[in-house]
Chains A and B, each alone.
Chain A
Amino acid sequence: MTTTDWTAGRIAAAVRDGEISAREVVDAALARIERYDGDVGAFLHVEQSGARRAAATVDNLPAAQRRTLPLAGVPVAVKDNVVTRDMPTTAASRILEGFRAPFDATVVARLRQAGALIVGKTNLDEFAMGSSTEHSAFHPTRNPWDLTRVPGGSSGGSAAAVAARMVPLALGSDTGGSIRQPAAYCGVVGMKPTYGRVSRFGLIAFASSLDQIGPLARTVADARLLYRVIAGSDPCDSTALEGDAGEGLDEAVSLNGLRIGLPREYFGDGTDRRIRSVVAHALDRLESSGARLVEVSLPHTPYAISTYYLIAMAEASSNLSRYDGVRYGMRAGGRDLLDMYETTRAEGFGAEVKRRILLGTHALSAGYYDAYYLKAQKVRTLIRQDFDTAFLEVDVIATPTTPDLPFRLGERETDPLQMYLSDIFTVTSNLAGIPSLVVPVGVADGLPVGLQWMAPPLADGRLLAIAELCEKTVAIEPNWPLGGTMS
């Protein structure tokens, strides 16, 4: 019996029924982390004692109470830009080295409430800025499928931990693809919910109007399980949506007659031939199972990358201003106030973060605001309208997730622009605020390929249902890396 191969759903059921103890589950997870994380580097912090304490709490509950826990005894990894009361939270930045938050993020509180065992904090690109997890101030994370390659980013630690079966579930955050791109690179399911469906309270802000926390899992059912726990309104987040987040989560969907939109702007030559072929194969299977493939157009797609980076950097420059050495985290220099600010931020932030703060500050400066930020907001509206129009014709949209297969560590470090451009297929969901989910649909040259699904706002439940059909229809038997099979 290897619980590390189990789905979260199976673990929770077994723990609820007392077939297995939470303690056994957490020990197995911690042992696997111990064995493989030296190579993978998915974690920035492993919380053995806290996880075991949480397991004991679950095990000691009266059975009747334990039976109500949706994530009873399920080990979960949390991206290190989500604050936790009993563990460090660094956002993979020197400037927050040693920082401990005095409170739990809303999603973390909900995990604990649901009986989950938080085993640690996963690596990311510093402040979630990057697509490779190489921009962590502490160490890079490697792709479990090929340790010479990146796991994607910025939620690379969470995706790698799930792919390496250290945990069945992990939380990521997605500002422009930071859950979905690593999910594709690591062959797991990753979901960015509708903006506002999941509370951002306790998520260290990168770009507030784009950030959204979401689940990473090995199956769509597990992603739904985690989503169900974390979604819902929150009095601490004014942008969290009211209403029933569970709505449509159990909706039955059929492939028969399902209109799948294929935006022509997403199927160009710029995408790696091997990805195109895996995606085409998956779409064929869906079509032969009754789905209708409909070509649609999202005409403002060419402006998405510049729009996204302008808004994201502008907001980031503001959100990261609070790291000034005055109240918490790192402080350096100190000849005078200005010296303290400058030295702290010069030494505390990495190169990519500084690049974005500078660009974002510039974009908001007097005389540039209208030309950059304001214009970007206008284009954002147009991009949202593109989707509104497309969803009049189709139920759901399917696209490749990334133009490229996972690249090798160091390969793109000198070319930030190339790195930015590779977010082309994922940033539009964030700009439009719509839910989007990546599900693995094949392997090319030993590397996983994910298909991205996008749905209208608030159709998170439908999106999950469609993705689950896709998962069943395009059955791939991934040869999970680092030994073992899925069960």
Chain B
Amino acid sequence: MMPAFDVIIGLEVHVELNTASKLFCSCSTQFGADPNTETCPVCLGMPGVLPVLNRTAIALAVRAALALDCQVHTISKFDRKQYFYPDLPKAYQISQFDQPLAEHGALTMTEDGAARRIRIRRIHVEEDAGKLNHLGERLGDASGSLVDLNRAGVPLIEIVSEPDLRSADQARLYLTELKTILSYLDISDLRMEEGSMRCDANVSLRPAGYTGDVEDLPRSEIKNVNSFRNVQRGIEYEIERQSNLLRQGGRIVRETRGFDDASGRTYSQRSKEEAHDYRYFPEPDLPPLVLAETWIDQQKRALPVLPDAIRQMLRAQGIPAREAEVLVQDRAAFGYWQEATSLVADARLVTNWMLSDVARLINAAGQGFASSAVPPARLAELLKLLLAGTISGRMAKEILEKMFETGERAPDLVQSLGLSQITDQSAIAAVVREVLQGNPGVVQDYLGGKSKALAFLVGQVMKRTRGQAKPELANAVLKEILEAEYGATTP
């Protein structure tokens, strides 16, 4: 017998904003510099320093908030979140506690064809901590730890969902959709492997008949998982672990759990009893953050077209849902598509070529749509030749491969490879007459009613023209001459 539990999941996603400088000082946010070279007295927490807010970071955060349908507050404030750790130079993180930048947003994702709305509780701005490089396996048995404060002070937003997710699959869908939306805003690199996007998952089980607040259910927080796949695995494991525990009459405790990639398991890191008291209080070194209503409206108007609108537009252009999703989720692909379709009106043709041949070739070359050796304008040139009948589909594929190899343009390759179709009717008529004269038996078959004989004759014409005759044209000219000169009657 399966006791009934609802799975309750809420996600906290940290996104590093791609400003040139840090949140409270002018240090560069460049990833990968030598340790502690991107630092100054302010982000080192030297005595006497004061934070000065980077307004660009706020603009980026507001963009995210608006794209996620949040209410952006005209007044928010910064607070100090206090704890001791060597990667936190001031021993407090400047964050936003009870008056965040934005609240009450939502994201709509599609699960099995049905739209599902996930509410977003809040988005706040905060500074990142530095990094510890442990000399050894873990902090506990490390022979020492080296502190690198390059990342300390890099601007982050934390996007906190309401506990609206009901499965690990949904959690992954949410993350995918969130990343897709954010990718259109130019606010972050969104690289989980470099830590520019990080996710914590809160998982609890609600027994059937429970009527209390889900916030009061004991939950585990799975911290700092490094990929969407692992967030999903961690949650799956946690659902399994908690339901087993409950079935056996055990009790779930509120705790922080880590995720072990190798075993796919979560493990306890810190229980509630050991939890930090962060002693939040208003940051006295920064005045409240005041945003003008008109400025917020301006930001809203300046938002780019977002994934949902793009999906609708693609659907209207006849692009099937699957293909549309591939285009939407890869912003570079959609950009490629937009440019190509602005030059070649046949959107389906562009889509088919992009997602089959172009995708195969860029993957093989280790490129993306943004860095494709054949940019959208060049693909458009090729497709125009195809649409004009100058080349056949088969030729186009051959030319595209050559374009990737040589970087040459389609019209030039058509010339140099001598690949253009023969579209001159008289040129084809001459070949047709030769073929008819050379195959009297087949002609007789055709005249006797074997319409299949025509296909053989077309094949012969193609062969003689080394494939350059346009097949439809060859077909038409053959019929015409057979009627006019051999007395064939139209079937």
Minimum Cβ distance to chain A for residue B148 (Å): 12
Distance A434 CA – B422 CA, assembled complex (angstroms): 91
B-contacting residues, A304-344, CB 8 Å: 314-315, 317-318, 321-322, 324, 326-328, 337, 341
Cα distance, A297 to B284, chains bound together (Å): 29
Closest to B147 in A: A326
CB of B92 closer than 8 Å to a CB of A: yes
Indicate whether A102 reaches chain B with its CB closer than 8 angstroms: yes
Q: Are A321 and B82 in contact (CB under 8 A)?
A: yes
Q: Is B48 in contact with A105, judged by CB distance below 8 angstroms?
A: yes
State whether A341 and B84 are in contact (beta carbons under 8 Å apart), knowing that A318-B281, A321-B91 are contacts in the complex: yes
Q: Which of B24-48 contact A (CB under 8 A)?
A: 41, 44-48
Of B49-57, B106-114, B240-248, the one touching chain A: B49-57
Please encode chain B, from 382 to 417, with 1 for each CB lying within 8 Å of some chain A CB and 0 for all others.
000000000000000000000000000000000000
What 0/1 pattern do residues 233 to 247 of A give for CB contact below 8 A with B?
001111100000000
Of B50, B280, B284, which contacts A209 at CB under 8 A?
B284
Contact yes or no, A101 B281, CB < 8 A: no
Neighbouring B residues of A406 by C-beta, 8 Å: none
Contacts of A236 in B (CB 8 A): 50, 52
B92 cross-chain contacts in A, Cβ below 8 A: 318, 321
In the complex, which residues of chain A have a beta carbon less than 8 angstroms from the beta carbon of B90? 321-322
- Which chain B positions have C-beta within 8 A of A271? none
Tell whether, in the assembled complex, residue A238 and residue B52 are in contact, meaning their CB atoms are under 8 Å apart.
yes
B277 an interface residue at 8 Å Cβ cutoff? Answer: yes
A101, A203, A238, most chain B CB atoms within 10 A: A238
Q: Which of A62-70, A365-373, A457-465 contacts B (4 or more CB under 8 A)?
A: A365-373
A96 contacts chain B at the CB level, 8 A cutoff:
yes
* Chain A residues engaging chain B, CB cutoff 8 angstroms: 82-83, 89, 91, 96, 99, 101-103, 105, 200-205, 207-209, 235-239, 314-315, 317-318, 321-322, 324, 326-328, 337, 341, 361, 364-366, 369, 373
Given contacts A326-B147, A328-B46, contact A103 B287 (CB under 8 A): no
With a cutoff of 8 Å between Cβ atoms, the chain A residues found around residue B82 in the complex are 318, 321, 364
Whether A205 pairs with B48 at a CB distance below 8 angstroms is yes
| B-side contacts of A337, CB under 8 Å | 86, 139
B80 contacts A by Cβ under 8 Å: yes
B20 on the A face (CB < 8 A) = no
Instruction: Determine the residue in chain A with the shortest Cβ distance to B276.
Output: A366
B322 contacts chain A at the CB level, 8 A cutoff: no
Beyond the given A201-B50, A318-B281, please list 20 additional residue pairs across the A-B interface where CB-CB is below 8 A: A82-B48, A83-B48, A89-B47, A89-B48, A101-B41, A101-B48, A103-B41, A239-B286, A315-B284, A318-B80, A322-B90, A322-B91, A327-B44, A327-B147, A337-B139, A361-B279, A364-B279, A364-B281, A366-B277, A369-B281
Q: Contact between B84 and A324 (Cβ–Cβ < 8 Å)?
A: yes
Given the complex, which residues of B lie within 8 Å of A105, measured CB to CB?
Answer: 48
Q: Which of A83, A322, A337 has the most CB of B within 10 A?
A: A322
**Complex A-B, nearest 8 residue pairs according to Cβ-Cβ distance, in ascending order:** A321-B91, A208-B284, A209-B284, A364-B279, A202-B48, A83-B48, A204-B47, A322-B45
What total of chain B residues lie within 8 Å of the partner, measured CB to CB?
Answer: 29
What residues of B have a CB within 8 angstroms of the CB of A102 in the complex?
41, 46
Q: Shortest beta-carbon distance, A261 to chain B, in Å?
A: 29
Whole-angstrom distance from the CB of B7 to the nearest CB of chain A?
29
B445 at the interface (CB under 8 A from A): no
23 contacts between A and B (CB under 8 A): A82-B48, A103-B46, A200-B50, A201-B48, A201-B50, A205-B48, A208-B284, A235-B52, A237-B50, A237-B52, A238-B51, A314-B281, A315-B284, A317-B279, A318-B82, A318-B279, A322-B89, A326-B147, A327-B45, A337-B139, A341-B84, A369-B279, A373-B281
Enumerate chain B residues within 8 angstroms of A82, measured Cβ to Cβ: 48
Complex CA distance for A174 and B185, rounded to whole angstroms = 46
Whether the pair A238, B50 counts as a contact (CB closer than 8 A) is yes
**Contact status A322-B86, CB under 8 Å:** no
Q: Which residues of B contact A317 (CB under 8 A)?
A: 279
Partner of B285, one of A96, A208, A326: A208
In angstroms, Cα B48 to Cα A237, docked, is 11
A365 close to B277 (CB less than 8 A): yes
